[in-house]
């Protein structure tokens, strides 16, 4: 009976997590629009945060409850899932073009912060000092991204922003309700995942890297695949890059600031962060390093690259659960 309750908490928690993240993004975006926040910043900050809100809340609550393996496994597992599974599936559906700004700034930044977090965790786990370093880099990246975007005037029109048709009262309601359900569903998910791990003899890290990581990446999966089918390549690629930057800096940083994790599972340093780094480097090579007929290079992730990413994810998951 206890095991059934844990399974129900994971399944229902995941469903409520995805639903509440969507409601929160709509409400927060509409609130920002009604308050006069530039729609560009709504798209970058509110939507970027919203798709990573499940990872953020789950990892923060896991750290607070002392489940550091689930907190870190969720963050790094989501990064691996975002690139290998989500972008792999999207590119397998249709080749994805990559904007010049992503090639010049966002992808190199993701590679750099992955290397930084790897060095910090390898050196002394996620201490409070290391956590604040990650949060400081996150603040700098966010400020730099906003400035670059404002200068180039990229972004959607206000009418196209999520939640664009909500009134002020409904926007406030969905922001608060979405956030409340987000926190509650995260607590249910973490409890269920820990109970399952203990009942089945599976480590917290494996649960965090598999069930929790894939579950909290469902918003990115749904939005990226839908964007790829509609030909909105920049949304599919930008969503994953932004989410991974949030996960690496804000999610891990916040979890460490709440409760330092001086001792981390050796598999995170020896296997999972290197895999995330290698996938980010592969993504950069796919998008930037492919020669094009007639000379030059093309910013795109080919269909065969997507298939390779999917195959790698299957092999990685088999290695994790064995």
Q: Is 7 exposed, middle or buried (0-12, 13-18, 19+ CB in 10 A)?
A: middle
Report the C-alpha gap between 98 and 86 in whole angstroms: 15
Q: Which of 120, 59, 96 is nearest to 269 (CA)?
A: 120
CB 21 within 8 A of CB 178: yes
Instruction: Give the pLDDT of residue 273.
Output: 92
CB 127 within 8 A of CB 117: no
Instruction: Give the pLDDT of residue 213.
Output: 81
Instruction: Give the pLDDT of residue 40.
Output: 46
H helices present in 95-167, as ranges: 100-101, 107-124, 128-152
- All structural domains of the chain: 2-321 (1.20.1420.30)
Give phi and psi for 65, each to the nearest 5: -85, 0
Report the C-alpha gap between 90 and 227 in whole angstroms: 8
As a whole number of Å, the end-to-end CA separation of the chain is 27
- Compute mean pLDDT per 10 residues along the chain, 322 residues long, and list them: 83 82 71 63 59 79 82 88 90 80 79 92 83 93 74 50 67 81 76 79 82 75 68 69 87 90 82 93 77 54 89 91 78
DSSP 8-state assignment for residue 125 = S
Q: Using the CB atoms, write b or e for 66-85: b if 16+ within 10 Å.
A: ebbbbbbbbbbbbbbbbbbb
Report the C-alpha gap between 247 and 186 in whole angstroms: 16
Structure tokens belonging to residue 143: 């400020």
Report the C-alpha gap between 72 and 60 in whole angstroms: 10
Instruction: Give the pLDDT of residue 159.
Output: 46
Instruction: Give the pLDDT of residue 42.
Output: 55
Strand partners, 97: 300
* Residue that the structure tokens 């309601």 belong to: 173
């Amino acid at each position: 009976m206890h095991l059934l309750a844990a399974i129900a908490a994971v399944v229902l928690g995941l469903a409520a997590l995805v639903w509440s993240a969507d409601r929160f993004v709509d409400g927060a975006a509409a609130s920002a629009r009604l308050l006069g926040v530039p729609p560009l910043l709504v798209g970058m900050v509110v939507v970027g945060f919203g798709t990573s809100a499940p990872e953020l809340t789950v990892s923060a609550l896991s750290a607070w409850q002392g489940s550091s393996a689930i907190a870190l496994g969720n963050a790094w597992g989501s990064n691996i899932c975002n690139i290998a599974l989500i972008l792999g599936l999207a590119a397998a559906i249709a080749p994805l073009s990559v904007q010049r700004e992503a090639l010049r700034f966002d992808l190199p930044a993701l590679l750099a912060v992955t290397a930084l977090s790897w060095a910090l965790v390898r050196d002394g786990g996620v201490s409070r000092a290391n956590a604040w370093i990650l949060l400081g880099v996150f603040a700098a990246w966010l400020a730099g991204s906003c400035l670059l975007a404002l200068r180039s005037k990229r972004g959607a029109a206000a009418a196209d922003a999520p939640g664009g048709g909500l009134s002020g009262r409904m926007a406030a309601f969905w922001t608060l309700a979405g956030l409340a359900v987000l926190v509650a569903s995260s607590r249910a998910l973490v409890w269920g995942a820990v109970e399952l791990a203990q009942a089945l003899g599976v480590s917290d890290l494996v649960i965090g890297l598999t069930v929790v990581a894939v579950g909290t990446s469902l918003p990115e999966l749904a939005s990226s695949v839908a964007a790829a089918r509609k030909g909105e390549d920049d949304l599919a690629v930008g969503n994953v890059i932004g989410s991974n930057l949030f996960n690496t800096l804000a999610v891990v940083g916040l979890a460490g600031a709440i409760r330092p994790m001086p001792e981390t599972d050796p598999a995170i340093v020896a296997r999972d962060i290197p895999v995330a780094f290698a996938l980010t480097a592969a993504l950069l090579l796919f998008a930037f390093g492919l020669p094009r007929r007639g000379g030059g290079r093309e910013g795109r992730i080919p269909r065969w690259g997507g298939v390779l990413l999917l195959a790698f994810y299957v092999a990685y998951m088999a290695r994790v659960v064995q």
